[in-house]
Amino acid sequence: MRDAQYSQSTLHALPPAFGFPGTIVAGVHPEPTPPSTPQTPRTRDGLLRVALVLFAVGFLAIVAIFLTPVVSDSDPGLVLYLIALACPIGFLLGIAAALRQGRRAR
């Protein structure tokens, strides 16, 4: 009987948890607590972005090299071949950026 009186008194003393009447959850707050330190976006993702842009530009130049003889009867120019070199350069920079970010995460 003593336990029944104690549980009834605590039901009236504590507010309902999470909107369910009569439910008591000890030590749980209905609102999440903010993290102790604010999380900022990585500021050193610039190398990865440059790598992606170079890779995309180089890839488009490679596609243009293959499409030039199909669309016209001329050969692709030297400029397209030089721009196509951006693709492997971007690939290598992407690997370097991934390795750099992996070392920083540890």
Q: What is the pLDDT of residues 35-90, one digit of tens each?
A: 665 555 555 689 999 999 999 999 999 999 999 999 998 999 999 999 999 999 99
Residue 3 above 90 pLDDT?
A: no
What's the pLDDT band for 91 if we cut at 50, 70, 90? very high
Residue 16 above 90 pLDDT?
A: no
Report if residue 74 sits inside a domain.
yes
Q: Which domain holds residue 61?
A: 46-105
Task: Give the three-class secondary structure for 17.
Answer: strand
Report if residue 54 sits inside a domain.
yes
Domains identified in the chain, total number: 1
Give CA angle at 45 (43, 50), nearest 5°: 135
- What is the predicted pLDDT for the residue at 82? 97
- What is the predicted pLDDT for the residue at 103? 78
d(C-alpha 88, C-alpha 81), whole Å: 12
C-beta of residue 86 within 8 angstroms of C-beta of residue 58: yes
